[in-house]
Amino acid sequence: MLLSPEFAAGKTYVYKYETLLLGGLPEEGLAKAGLKVSSKVLISAEAENMYIMKIMDPELYELSGILPKEPFIPAPRLTSALAVQLMTPIKFEYTNGVVGKMFAPEGISTMVLNIYRGILNVLQLNIKQTHNIYEMQEPGAQGVCKILYAISEDEKADRVLVKKKGLAYTEKCAKCQQDSKNLRGTTAYNYILKRVANGILILEADVNELIQYSPFTEMNGAFQMQTKQSLVFLETQRTTLAPIEAQYFRRGSLKYEFSNELLQTPILLIKINNVQAQIVEILKYMITNNVERVHEDAPLKFLELIQLLRSARFEDLEMLWSQYRSKPDYRQWILDAIPAIGSPAALRFIKEKLLADELSVAEVAQALIASMHMVTANIETIKLVEALTLNNKIVENPFLREIVLLGYGTMVSKYCPIHKLLAEAVAKVDMQEIIVQLKVLGNAGHPSSIKPITKILPIHGTMGVSLPVRVHAEAIMALRNIAKKQPTQVQDLALQLYMDKALNPELRMLACIVLFETRPAVGLVTTLANIVKTEENLQVASFTYSHMKSLTRSTAAIHASVAAACNVAVKILNPKLNRLSYRFSKASHMDFYNSPLMLGAAASTFYINDAATIMPRALVARTSAYLAGAAADVLEVGIRTEGLQEALLKNPALIENVDRITKMKRVIKALSQLRSLPASTALASIYVKLFGQEIAFANIDKALIDQAIALATGPSVQRVGKDVIREMLSGASLRIFKPLLASEVRRILPTAAGFPMELSLYTAAVAAATVRVKATTTPALPEDFHFAQLLKTDIQLETEIRPSIALNTFAVMGVNTAMVQAAMLSRAKFNSIVPANIAARIDINEGIFKIEALPVSVPEDIAAVHVETFAVARNTEDLTPARITPIIPAKVLEPILEETSKIADSLSQSSEINIVADAEPIRMPKALRFEKKYCAKAVAIGLKGCLKVATNNIASVTDVLLYKLAGRHSAALSFIPSEH
């Protein structure tokens, strides 16, 4: 039997409510970022199981500083901006202590509703009269959590005491996180209740939630986000609340709803008044301040531009484009920024500009690759990309069509699977189209794609048996992303293919790659070793053995079980396969992994050979990264040379055992005859993957070779070449720039109070280069010269290059909404400029080729890095005094002399939330400082190089990595002429 809180009809229950969010490192004396809300909360019954809640006298406060020295500061403008919404009554269902549906007028924002959810979450109580201690799954603002209830009764005081505890956030127990989790959270609720006629009355409720996050293992320290809530009963009033004169709509349930924080970056806060004017202002700033070299604030400004574009409507983008598309600098900034928006509007914009022939093929390719991998997958974007795949302008350009189809596969991986296009390609027996669609399904990586891919595989009884080896190879490799989600099914398929000794050896080796992607158990690896022991094909045996042997050296936690299994397998195979030469196929894997830091990198190569071939049949190289308990395949490049092998092997002279020079001459002669091959013959292919998603691939065939030759020898190319040479003779100048949002990794979590807490990592960079070239020829070239004359001319070039780059990386933990932010922010800034002045002389007729470096003016620092951690508090209503406080205060050695009684007063005189102070005065942590300058002379080039390093951290508090990184660090590299 449940005992539920009561709010009797005809009365209004008045509570005092406070919530506080405080983020930073747990030690006192360090800067923290915080937010506080205090108000009264009024609750009254409207009908059976339907109640009204209203917030009265709301006040918001911010903190960026050191408690208790710097108290929470009132934010009156923010309070005023939100007051109307906060004080608008809402309705909610409430039955037996369980909150149901919520209702509010249309004008109430999701952010304000989430604040209400934080209050309602305190009212969520499932009290059983028949049990004192029990567990249950309970829905709340943060989803369904496992909750432990402990109930006791103080009969003398006529009070019921309830303790409720739940785990707010835990990670799935992946191998990297078994010993230590990056993210942990727990919430404790304490209630004092009083029995009344038909239930209980909540007299007091205190909530304490603690979320901690570390990019490393917990033993290396962790940032914390603490949320405290206090609800204290004040009185009952003999009047009832009434809703406002407006229509109330259903606005969800108690569960937190994400709003525009998904688009709001936590790095900067912008009050948008006129989005078009603000975008133009940023564009002008970028163009004006990034001329000779990149401005150090350019990456942050580029992020600001992206943020403004994310707030713009499609019509705003259209107007911006029509105004600036004919201005090259503006045009490039716009086309580089729009794909990073990640919204359907960006994709629609690119599509319409493509259809209107307003973009070049290069501009379309760049924009499509970026936008389709950034955009959020939903029904709208899926339909947009699907329409693009069928558009004539895309279909007629194989390069663009491949980009769109691969991007479609990436979007499908985020949303839903497709198989129709593959079935159509198989029905038409269109080999190239089958390969493209297999790549699309490989990007999608959906388990439901196993069945259609199986039909393409060379398994007895399938229609795919008669297909070419290259198609089979693509089908096998398309299983790799699926293996991460459905390892068992893929494992069975891969093992079946590997064990088929009648199968092409190359396909068996590819099946071996896929098999180890599933991270097989020791039993399967041992079985594989016994198969290899009797394997007659030494290419397959060598490949499998080398793959196992390289995995035994892996130190990454993700490979721990496979490495142990391979260690056993290698001992079985060592006597037979340990000395095979590099004529045989090989797989290699190298990695470095630091367990305490949960940080590492890996490189793998797969070299697939055949004794009868002149060069490898296939070569795959892959790099991976391990960070904060997660793994990612960063870059992969693969090359196949199947057609080229067959073409070369048609020349028997190439197989003869002759000297190296003779064989090279014969290979060159054979290559010159490739143009006589049938047009359908693919000589080679290459693909590129980023983060497991194939973004581009190319087939090298007769058509491509003919096209390249025609392009290189065509009149247009010769005309362009002559124009370039003429410009160089008169002195040419070129300015290149490229902005890039290199990474945007975000995780947003609701806190108990209804505010979103964000963990994010951003990297933005802007690179630029100014190139000036002046050429002189002896004798001077006539106006209408021929390229053949260059062979008899002494050419002297003088080139000045000033490349520069600015890169910013931001790591954030804290509260992030469209109106207010309170977070810990670490920023790493890298700036570099390396000018060069190079002179070259080329005289082919005389056999002269000479390059020399000329003196050039060098800036004081050619490269500089600065890293600092701050506590940040700001709101859109009062951006000017945004508080940004270094985590280590300026006077780190001075003790705080305030009495301990002032600690509680720092929150507010009437605060119900208390920070318990030590009896001893709190002292600031002692900062560790280090400054050093290292110099070295390079006598040969007459330069002296110096590296200045300075660091100021708080490792004295706890000697762990996070505390060494928290603080301020800088390094600068400079070169000056040296005296001999």
Cross-strand bridge partners of residue 741: 764
* Nearest residue to 23 (alpha-carbon basis) of 226, 230, 229: 226
* Residue 958 parent element (H or E): none
> Residue 742 has what pLDDT?
84
Q: How far is CA 812 from CA 373, 550, 677, 887, in A?
A: 23, 37, 58, 13
Q: What's the chain's average pLDDT?
A: 82
Report, as an integer, the average pLDDT of 222-248: 93
Q: Is the pLDDT of residue 231 over 90?
A: yes
Q: Based on the number of CB atoms within 10 Å of its own CB, is 322 exposed (0-12), middle (13-18) or buried (19 or more)?
A: exposed
Condensed to tens digits (0 to 9), the pLDDT of residues 692-713 reads 778 777 777 766 666 666 665 6
Extents of the domains making up the chain: 11-234, 861-890+924-979
Of 227-241, 420-434, 570-584, 896-910, where does mean pLDDT reach its minimum? 896-910
Report, as an integer, the average pLDDT of 118-144: 87
The dihedrals phi and psi of 958, each to the nearest 5 degrees, come to -145, 125
Give me the sign of the Cα torsion angle 870, 873, 874, 875.
positive
Q: How far is CA 952 from CA 65, 215, 819, 873, 956, in A?
A: 18, 20, 33, 23, 11
Confirm whether pTM is higher than 0.85.
no
Could you tell me the pLDDT band of residue 558, with boundaries at 50, 70 and 90?
confident
Pair of tokens at residue 63? 């903190």
Condensed to tens digits (0 to 9), the pLDDT of residues 854-883 reads 677 777 788 899 999 999 999 998 887 678
Report, as an integer, the average pLDDT of 422-450: 84
> Residue 650 has what pLDDT?
62
> Residue 827 has what pLDDT?
92
**How far is the C-alpha of 636 from the C-alpha of 427, rounded, in Å?**
31
Condensed to tens digits (0 to 9), the pLDDT of residues 956-967 reads 777 777 888 888
Report, as an integer, the average pLDDT of 843-849: 72
**How far is the C-alpha of 188 from the C-alpha of 166, rounded, in Å?**
7
CA angle at residue 549 from 544 to 551, to 5 degrees?
Answer: 100
Q: How far is CA 771 from CA 54, 336, 804, 806, 840, in A?
A: 65, 21, 12, 18, 15
Q: Is the pLDDT of residue 978 over 80?
A: no
Q: Is the pLDDT of residue 111 over 80?
A: yes
Q: Is the pLDDT of residue 344 over 80?
A: yes
Where in 105-182 does DSSP place strands (E)? 127-128, 133-140, 143-154, 159-166
Of 427-431, 635-639, 827-831, where does mean pLDDT reach its minimum? 427-431
Pair of tokens at residue 96? 């037996």
The dihedrals phi and psi of 245, each to the nearest 5 degrees, come to -80, 80
> Residue 578 has what pLDDT?
72
Could you tell me the pLDDT band of residue 29, with boundaries at 50, 70 and 90?
confident
Q: Is the pLDDT of residue 362 over 50?
A: yes
Pair of tokens at residue 935? 């110099």
Q: Is the pLDDT of residue 761 over 80?
A: yes
Report, as an integer, the average pLDDT of 408-419: 71
> Residue 436 has what pLDDT?
86
Q: Which residue has better confidence, 310 or 879?
A: 310
Q: Which CATH code is given to the segment(s) 11-234?
A: 2.30.230.10
Give me the sign of the Cα torsion angle 232, 234, 240, 243.
negative
Q: Which residue has better confidence, 377 or 392?
A: 392
Q: Are 42 and 56 in contact (CB under 8 A)?
A: yes
Q: Is the pLDDT of residue 190 over 90?
A: yes
Condensed to tens digits (0 to 9), the pLDDT of residues 886-929 reads 988 765 534 333 333 333 343 333 333 333 333 344 455 666 78
Could you tell me the pLDDT band of residue 425, with boundaries at 50, 70 and 90?
confident
- The percentage of residues in the chain with a pLDDT greater than 90, rounded to a whole number, is 30
Kindly give the residue spans of alpha helices, DSSP state H, lying in 553-607.
560-577
